[in-house]
């Protein structure tokens, strides 16, 4: 490692954004921190965490909150849904048109003006299914 100079804040921000955009899946803040730290060993977890919030606020990435688990960060910022494996934790993107109907039903039942919605379909991924059936 030659980098003895600490990165400027804007560089750190770009580094965090890059890690999210290069990732295949949906990383937690902790996983993103581990990857960012490989490039900038001086970066603090708090900095990465705050940067993720900032990037999500600006619409550059999407923060996904799951009821019983850590937030995940998604490079896709358009509306989409997810399937989640309860065995290995794999999360994949799916586009489910029925979710649009669900939004209207939610508005009708609650009187809310719904601004966002996100459906998580939980189950077992093909690899986990193969591991137990094969």
Look up residue 101 and give its two tokens.
Answer: 């109907």
Interaction between residue 83 and Zn ion (CB under 5 A): no
Task: Looking at the chain, list the stretches that DSSP marks H as alpha helix, in order from N- to C-terminal side.
Answer: 9-22, 29-39, 45-57, 98-110, 126-133
Interaction between residue 93 and Zn ion (CB under 5 A): yes
Look up residue 130 and give its two tokens.
Answer: 């193969």
CB 49 within 8 A of CB 29: yes
**What is the chain's alpha carbon radius of gyration, rounded to the nearest angstrom?**
18
Interaction between residue 85 and Zn ion (CB under 5 A): yes
**88 in a labelled binding site:** yes
State in angstroms the smallest separation of the CB of 49 from Zn ion.
20
State in angstroms the smallest separation of the CB of 26 from Zn ion.
6
Q: Which stretch binds Zn ion (CB under 5 A): 3-11, 33-41, 70-78, 97-105?
A: 70-78
Residues found near Zn ion in the complex (CB under 5 A): 74, 76, 85, 87-88, 90, 93, 125, 128
């Amino acid at each position: 490692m030659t980098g003895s100079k600490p990165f400027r804040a804007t560089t750190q921000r770009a580094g965090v954004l890059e890690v999210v955009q290069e990732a295949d899946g949906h990383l937690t803040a902790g996983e993103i921190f581990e990857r960012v730290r490989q490039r900038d060993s001086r970066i603090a977890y708090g900095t990465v965490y705050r940067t993720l919030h900032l990037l999500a606020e600006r619409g550059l990435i999407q923060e996904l909150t799951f009821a019983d688990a850590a937030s995940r960060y998604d490079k896709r910022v358009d509306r989409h849904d997810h399937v989640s494996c309860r065995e290995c934790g794999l999360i994949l993107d799916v586009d489910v048109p029925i979710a649009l109907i669900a939004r209207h039903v939610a508005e009708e039942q609650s009187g809310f003006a719904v601004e966002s919605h996100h459906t998580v379909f939980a189950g077992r991924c093909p690899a986990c299914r193969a591991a137990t059936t094969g």
